[in-house]
Amino acid sequence: MIDNWPVLSIITFMPLAGVLFLLIIRGDDDTVAHNSRTVALWVSAFTFLVSLVILIGFDSAASGYQFEEKRVWLGDTGISYHMGVDGISMPFVLLSTFLMPLAILASWRSIANRVREYMIAFLVLETMMIGMFVSLDMLMFYLFFEAVLIPMFLIIGVWGGPRRVYAAFKFFLYTLLGSVLMLVCMLVMYIDAGSTNIPLLTSHEFATGLQNWLFLGFFASFAVKVPMWPVHTWLPDAHVEAPTAGSMILAGVLLKMGGYGFLRFSLPMFPSASEFFAPLIFVLSVVAVIYTSLVALAQSDMKKMIAYSSVAHMGFVTIGIFSMNEQGIAGAMFQMISHGLVSAALFFCVGVVYDRLHTREISAYGGVTAVMPRYAVFFMFMMLASVGLPGTSGFVGEMLVLVGAWQANTWLALFTASGLVLGATYMLWLYRRVMFGQVVSAEVQSMERMQPREYGIFLPLTILVLFFGVYPMALLDVMELSIQFILDDLKASGVALFAAR
Amino acid sequence: MVFELADMLPALPEIILASFALMLVLVAAYGGDGAANARRVAHLTLLGIVLAAFTVLSVSPAQETAFGGMFRADAFAHYMKILVLMGSFAAVFMSITPLERDDINKPEFSLLVMLSLVGMMLMISANDLMSLYMAVELQSLPLYVVAAMRTNSLRSSEAGLKYFLLGALSSGMLLYGASLVYGFAGTTSFAGIAAAVADTELPVAFIIGMVFMITGIAFKVSAAPFHMWTPDVYEGSPSPVTALFAIAPKVAAIALMLRLTYGAFGSIAVEWSQVIMALSVASMLVGALGAIMQSDIKRMMAYSSIAHMGYALAGLAAGSHDGVFGVMIYMTSYVFMGVGTFSIILLMRRDGQSATRISDLRGLSKTQPLFALGLMVMMFSMAGIPPLAGFFGKWYVFLAAVNAGLVPLAVIGVVMSVIGAFYYLRIIKIMYFEDSEAPLDADVPLANKLVLGVSMAVIMLFFAGLNSIIEAADTATVALMAPF
């Protein structure tokens, strides 16, 4: 019975239906604000519950796409309404639906003006994110991929910090420039293959010379999204200015769009170009890991520091993907999911103290442990997960990436591993400066204890990070066949896999 | 040749419009002075447009041509005429109240629009150098007058004069080019010219004539480098007039460009596609870069329209079925974006005075959230952000360009669209990220709300109805490119 339901369409467009509810709320400002929060929370929570259907119904032993929906959209032009999930997109869908209620909960008190518009922006954003992950048509993918910019631009620009206008413009234009180059490549692919169907394009053989150009076009878009060094500069600005929940979603889900794009398009569609450009990507990623870690060390703003750490962690992801072996790709996937949870939690950690003290300067804090001991525990846990402590999800991802990188190139593994040391350095140092020592000021002394709402955000994140840390197979099993499919595809295209050495 | 009344049937929409125009002259002259009569004439104009649109859609005569082949009403003409009629209808409909508030609500406005509209319809159906020139003149002359309609304003008079001078220059070029083409082909009919140019060595004089003709139309399209009149005329004319200029005449001029290039010069696309390409690149550049520094929203819209024409011409430069098809999709989205944007520009007033500086929009999201939302949708659509209508226009235009091997043109186009996004975002920034000092007048006529609502719905749900638009545009393209 339920098999015949368009589950993916329902999940994708449910938040959009919630927007309609938000629009009909009437009353004075306080009522509207309160009801908007409640409605948005319920809608996103319900979307999460429905998305569990695909988790339960997902068959890890079946290769190919599941929950597929295909309808006629543009006649016989080769463009159709096509949705489906495989082991690569399914975790991301759940990550999106899981983080969204938490993000809405995180903005419960910190957003006081234009609450209704804020919630609309978030729900629209959720639809776009989910739609992007479940699209199996390239044009549809692009529609969702680009449309994400609209709500995010507004979230940063309307509810952001003092330099929000600059950050919003930089975010929008940077990403748009990358995306339009991808658009031209999509046009070329559509003309070459006669269809925008993603499974069909995956099996289509593009000429080797053409592949290189196409790869570069897609690379321009995904590298900005990931973001890779040297096109990462929009990220610290966007993160610093965005409201807490905006940062959570930005780091938690939007950055993964780049990694997902590499796995869905670049690797399977342009295998020989991927092999050709892999060294370039390794170099850029290693620079990202080392350089941005050093930059993070020098930051005085907590959010900026975590933003730079994101760039470093995403460097691991690109290394894993382009090492083109099972461990590497699985590690990259794992790292993306783990980073999605951990970085969202870390940005929320900053948000918790920012709500109380209204500053993100590290120097304004000190001795917070004495005032908020339970907060200290959560912060400690997430910090260690970010560093990659065994038993947390961060460890599994980084470990697998290192194994994958080692098979590709030992030097690569060495440089990548140095990122772990640097990561530990800046995170531990941050923790020491903020949490330990004497209570620096009366403001810090008078900080409020954690509220139930904040526990409600931390607990699910902590449980998941721990769960994936001790039982990684839960995730790895789901992805295995899809990763194998990509690798088989690469092998079939004559790419000499690094693993074969 | 025996003349039969049925032969005129293809031109029925034009005949209806022309009869209405003549009738309106009488109503305007004898209907008494004052606001009531201006309103009456405007309402009759709307009625005439609706009737004409109804005729275009429902009456399908046996033959496509009329007046001895000078007039052609094929599927392409139907498609473009509907666009033009919609654009003019919206412009007249939402101008009634603003014109009254500006105290320039003369019956002549609607009357002149009606006459110009007949010209536009004839442009779309032109199938002969003679009918082409007559149509262009009929379309232009009334517009020169309405541009200068605010007689007590120096800028409005300047706009009218400038428009007239440059329009006359372009007509001269068009006419000169036509004479050279005629000299080569020995006939003025497009079919005859098409037959004459096929498979022969073309003399340089003919090429010059063709380029002159394209240049003349490029003036009307306001493609760079023949765009100089646009910003001044847009800014100087009263807003309702600008709303009219910005939409329907552009569609008609693009349609004429397509008619001429494919009707008469279809077999020698190699010769003209480079000219079109140059126009396209120049327009995209000028439009994107010129708009950045503007502080008046009408001026900005002028540059924006130049850029849009550049994108549309990129499809034409492809010189293929896909290209024409792309242009048609592009113009469809353009009509709705233009109408929606101008429905808001028309209500930008403060203390009863027209306030068209971009900074006047400051904080609009708080004072009038619905209009801010509407303008935001229009701006994102113009920037080509999916899933809004503007994106699909760009998709099909660049698809054609890439398919014709013009990848550099497509790359220039998309990069320029990023630069263009900057100034569209600036409007959104001013409305949403900044607070207002003095809100705009809140008294908004119902017509503007309706027009905005409809165009917003079309822009946002474009993807859902895209399939039927594609089918209609495809039929139209086939009709345009069919050999005689």
Share of residues in chain A with pLDDT > 70 (%): 98
Give A 316-355 residues with CB within 8 A of chain B: none
Give A 268-297 residues with CB within 8 A of chain B: none
**pLDDT tens digits along A78-94:** 889 999 998 899 999 99
Within 13 A of A190's CA, how many CA atoms are on the CB side? 24
Span A100-118, mean pLDDT?
Answer: 88
Token representation of residue B16 = 């209806």
Which chain B residues are within 8 Å of A146, Cβ to Cβ? Answer: 385-386, 391
Span B226-244, mean pLDDT?
Answer: 90
* Selection from B74, B68, B62 nearest residue B324 by Cα: B74
Residue B181: per-residue pLDDT: 93
CA distance A74 to chain B (A): 5
Residue contact A184–B402, C-beta within 8 A:
yes
Are A90 and A161 spatial neighbours (Cβ–Cβ below 8 Å)? no
Share of residues in chain B with pLDDT > 70 (%): 99
**A183, A185, A189, A192, best to mutate vs chain B, most B CBs in 10 Å:** A183
Within 13 A of B299's CA, how many CA atoms are on the CB side? 17
How far is B283 from B285, CA to CA, in rounded Å? 5
Partners of A81 in beta bridges:
A71
Residue B140: per-residue pLDDT: 92
Residue B14: per-residue pLDDT: 92
Is residue A1 predicted with pLDDT exceeding 50? no
* Selection from A64, A52, A123, A137 nearest residue A94 by Cα: A52
Phi/psi at A301 (5° precision): -110, 125
**pLDDT tens digits along A206-236:** 888 899 999 999 999 999 998 888 888 999 9
pLDDT band at A501 (very low <50, low <70, confident <90, very high): very low
Q: For residue B419, give the chain A residue with the closest CA.
A: A173
Which chain A residues are within 8 Å of B466, Cβ to Cβ? Answer: 73-74
Residue contact A188–B415, C-beta within 8 A:
no
Span A250-279, mean pLDDT?
Answer: 91
**A117, A132, A180, best to mutate vs chain B, most B CBs in 10 Å:** A180
Span B103-114, mean pLDDT?
Answer: 87
Establish if A172 touches chain B: CB-CB under 8 angstroms: yes
Residue contact B385–A146, C-beta within 8 A:
yes
* Selection from B151, B132, B19, B118 nearest residue B72 by Cα: B132
* Selection from B91, B90, B121, B95 nearest residue B17 by Cα: B121
Residue A2: per-residue pLDDT: 53
Q: Which of A72, A149, A180 sits opposite B415 (nearest CB)?
A: A180
Q: Which of B385, B403, B429 sits opposite A149 (nearest CB)?
A: B385
**B377, B394, B402, best to mutate vs chain A, most A CBs in 10 Å:** B402
Strands (DSSP E) contained in B310-466 are: 349-350, 353-354
Q: Which are the contacts of B235, defined by CB distance < 8 A and separation ≥ 6?
A: B155, B159, B242, B296, B298, B299, B302, B356
Are A72 and A29 spatial neighbours (Cβ–Cβ below 8 Å)? no
pLDDT band at B32 (very low <50, low <70, confident <90, very high): confident
Is residue A495 predicted with pLDDT exceeding 70? no
Residue A133: per-residue pLDDT: 93
Are B56 and B81 spatial neighbours (Cβ–Cβ below 8 Å)? yes
Residue B2: per-residue pLDDT: 61
Residue B334: per-residue pLDDT: 94
Span B50-69, mean pLDDT?
Answer: 86
Which ipTM did the prediction report?
A: 0.90
Is residue A499 predicted with pLDDT exceeding 60? no
**pLDDT tens digits along A477-494:** 888 888 888 888 888 776
**pLDDT tens digits along B287-344:** 999 998 899 999 999 999 999 999 999 999 988 889 999 999 999 999 999 999 999 9
**DSSP 8-state secondary structure symbol assigned to residue A493:** T
CA distance A110 to chain B (A): 18
CA distance B470 to chain A (A): 8
How far is A266 from A208, CA to CA, in rounded Å? 13
Using CA atoms, how far residue A278 sits from A113, A498, B42, B421, B433, in Å, is: 47, 11, 66, 33, 42
Residue B148: per-residue pLDDT: 86
CA distance A191 to chain B (A): 7
Residue contact A142–B432, C-beta within 8 A:
no
Give the residue ranges of DSSP H helices in B8-70. Answer: 12-30, 35-58
Share of residues in chain B with pLDDT > 90 (%): 53
How far is B166 from A127, CA to CA, in rounded Å? 50
pLDDT band at A3 (very low <50, low <70, confident <90, very high): low
Residue B484: per-residue pLDDT: 59
| Residue in the block written with tokens 């509907």 | B82
Span A105-129, mean pLDDT?
Answer: 89
Span A169-196, mean pLDDT?
Answer: 91
**B422, B427, B432, best to mutate vs chain A, most A CBs in 10 Å:** B432
Q: Which of A74, A143, A187 sits opposite B399 (nearest CB)?
A: A187
Is residue A358 predicted with pLDDT exceeding 90? no
Residue contact B429–A157, C-beta within 8 A:
yes
**pLDDT tens digits along A22-73:** 888 888 888 888 888 999 999 999 999 999 998 888 888 888 888 888 888 8
Are A80 and A70 spatial neighbours (Cβ–Cβ below 8 Å)? yes
Phi/psi at A59 (5° precision): -105, 105
Establish if A184 touches chain B: CB-CB under 8 angstroms: yes
Span A120-147, mean pLDDT?
Answer: 93
What angle separates helix A452-470 from helix A89-106, to the nearest 10 degrees?
Answer: 160
Residue contact B386–A143, C-beta within 8 A:
yes
Global confidence as pTM: 0.92
Token representation of residue A303 = 């959010």
* Selection from B410, B306, B429, B424 nearest residue B362 by Cα: B429
